[in-house]
Amino acid sequence: MSSNDPTGSTPKHNTGKSGRKSVKSRSLYTKVKTARGRKLSSTLWLQRQLNDPYVQRARAEGWASRAAFKLIEMDDQYKLLEPGMRVVDLGAAPGGWCQVSAQRTQSTPDDVHVVGIDYLEMINVPGATILQKNFLDDDAPDAIMEALGGHAPDLVLSDMAAPTTGHRKTDHLRTMHLVEVALDFALKVLKPGGAFLSKTFQGGTESNILLDLKKNFNVIKHVKPPASRSDSVELYLLAKGFKGRDANSR
């Protein structure tokens, strides 16, 4: 549910499966003056955005946000996306992860394999079906599966994060609730052998979530891609090798 810098619907450059070229900024450092009525924190955020090489590269290449590079980097390392796979993207706005998923699964408007959902308005992503809807609505899971044509997804992505309150413990608990509901959905719909990738926060994944993951997946990892800012507390929880819906009975 990030909302960083929408720039367009179609990336100008195909990064391919490597996607490993370094992100460097050739522009001079931009310093932002504090304007009347603008808080210092807002000025510092704007200054960081203007000088962030990932933001600059996202604009140049047509990605919806710098977050696209997080998925690119994780996919390059862990091989999450392959041509023909079906993908669900929870908390998809502004659309960067849908763009990467559509490109790397070779999803097209005539043969859509990617479904994104967010209550925020999103860009159009060729090759993806976008649902402007709150994933927490009772009918959201059925709407997603209908958009997939009833096919089980190979990968469930979640970049959902609750709006921050400034109270770290509260923010952590609220985001962990979103991890729980995303995982619950994944366990109900994933294809055997499938994968789950979700944003979480540093500070420890709740023990009940880890137990569910270990019970239902073969490989569990905490991942922090290079595109995730070093001063951010975000991590990504990756689970691969879904054992199937009979795993809970073992």
What pairs with residue 158 in β-bridges? 90, 198
224 has catalytic annotation: no
Per the CB < 8 A criterion, the answer to whether 27 and 59 are in contact is no
Residue tagged active-site, from 199, 214, 224, 240: 199
What would you measure as the largest C-alpha separation in the chain, in angstroms?
A: 63
Which residues share a beta bridge with 200?
235
Question: What sections of the chain are H helices per DSSP?
Answer: 40-51, 53-61, 68-78, 96-105, 140-147, 168-189, 207-216
59 half-sphere exposure, CB direction, 13 A CA radius: 10
3-state secondary structure of 32: coil
> Are 149 and 115 within 8 A, CB to CB?
no
- Known catalytic residues are 199
